[in-house]
Amino acid sequence: MVDAIHPGVTADTPLTAKTPVQIEGLSITELPFLGKVTLRGDAGDKGFADAVEKVLGVALPTAPMSSAKKGGIRVFWKAFDEWLIWTEADGQTKLIADLRAALDGVGKAVVDLSDYYTVIRVSGSLSRELLAKGCALDLHPRRFTPGQATGTGFHHATIFITLVEGDTFDVMIRWSFADYLWDYFADGAREWGA
């Protein structure tokens, strides 16, 4: 893939060469180049909360495991003073500039994590069964509902997982573990003919 921001530069992820898994009941694909930003600040500070909402177009989620979405922006609660924000591909540069400008003079941290993580989408009727092979989190539809998100372990890796809707999960993983996790998923899908 050619980098749209830096023409002539080839951009790859650790999973660029991987073939997506597509079988009945299961799909495993990468969502490459999503922008990923960590935001830290005091949600109880009205100036901070209002400025962030103006930039994002949505209020910060303040309950554990919650998230909010507006257009191409997804905001996940990570801690009482920390949020993870996903943007459309390469949208993080403008978002970071807008957040820093809106929060000028307000205590905050805005950090680009885009080149540190990638996101794998696992979807289909077998997705929960596949994820249960290495994840201790209870992913039953009554326990883990659309929009919920949290960090957890997956076998030997640390992941951040969210239920998009139905049987579609997005799993964020550090680049250094992405190949390992992909191969774990692909191997786990072999019992269904992948």
Q: Report the C-alpha gap between 169 and 27 in whole angstroms.
A: 10
Q: Are 113 and 34 in contact (CB under 8 A)?
A: no
User: What is this structure's pTM?
Assistant: 0.92
Kindly list the distances between the CA atom of residue 39 and the CA atoms of 78, 96, 174, in Å, as whole numbers in the listed order.
10, 9, 18
Q: For position 11, what pLDDT does the model report?
A: 75
- Confidence band for 10, pLDDT divided at 50, 70 and 90: low
Q: Could you give the CA distance from residue 32 to residue 2 in angstroms, rounded to a whole number?
A: 13
Q: Per residue in 75-91, pLDDT tens?
A: 999 999 999 999 998 89
**Alpha-carbon dihedral sign for residues 82, 102, 69, 86:** negative
Tokens of 161: 């997982």
Write down all domains in the chain, each with its CATH number in brackets.
21-33+116-192 (3.30.1360.120), 34-112 (3.30.70.1520)
Model confidence over 111-156: pLDDT tens digits? 999 989 999 999 999 999 999 999 989 999 999 999 999 999 998 8
Token pair for residue 144? Answer: 């883990």
Whether the Cβ atoms of residue 163 and residue 169 lie closer than 8 Å to each other: yes
Local structure of 34: helix, strand or coil: strand
